[in-house]
């Protein structure tokens, strides 16, 4: 039930309800026109736009009368309070720079993997 409501809400939000209604109208037109003429002629009459059914006319009228609600784009400029002239960013107390990758000290910090790997990990 929740999925059906979600699909309906999505269709209404994207104005796809008109496409669904128009599809039903076209299907009905194909069926009714094919009773009087061959299928090829029924398809041509359905989609040529010269032979609309009452449902097609109602859909077109409803689409024209539907008011589109456009939301104006409101752009606001970000305003920050003025910072004092002696403003200074300070990092945390435990902050320290790491040594360069090619230095001997940096290489001493890395631990080489144990060879062979401990057997209890594979048990």
Residue 52, exposed/middle/buried by CB under 10 A (0-12, 13-18, 19+)?
A: middle
CA distances from 22 to 57, 82, 89, 110 (A): 10, 59, 63, 69
Domain ranges of the chain: 17-65
The pLDDT, as a whole number, for residue 121 is 60
pLDDT at 100 over 80: no
The pLDDT, as a whole number, for residue 81 is 82
In terms of DSSP H, where are the helices of the chain?
2-13, 17-36, 39-47, 54-65, 104-109
CA-to-CA distance for 13 and 24, rounded, in angstroms?
20
* pLDDT tens profile 6-45: 988 888 888 788 888 899 999 999 999 999 989 999 999 9
The verdict on pTM exceeding 0.75 is no
* pLDDT tens profile 61-86: 888 887 666 777 888 888 888 877 77
The answer to whether the beta carbons of residues 98 and 106 sit under 8 Å apart is yes
Region 33-60: what's the mean pLDDT? 90
pLDDT at 99 over 60: no
Residue 22, exposed/middle/buried by CB under 10 A (0-12, 13-18, 19+)?
A: middle
């Amino acid at each position: 039930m929740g999925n059906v409501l979600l699909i309906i809400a999505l269709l209404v939000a994207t104005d796809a309800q008109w496409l669904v209604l128009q599809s039903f109208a076209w299907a009905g037109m194909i069926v009714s026109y094919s009773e009087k003429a061959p299928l090829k002629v029924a398809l041509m009459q359905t989609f040529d736009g010269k032979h609309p059914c009452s449902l097609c006319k109602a859909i077109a009228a409803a689409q024209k009368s539907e008011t589109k609600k456009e939301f104006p784009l409101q752009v606001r400029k970000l305003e920050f309070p003025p910072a004092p002239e002696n403003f200074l960013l300070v990092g945390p107390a435990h902050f320290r720079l790491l040594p360069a990758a090619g230095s001997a000290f940096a290489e001493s910090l890395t631990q080489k993997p144990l060879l062979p790997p401990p057997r209890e990990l594979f048990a």
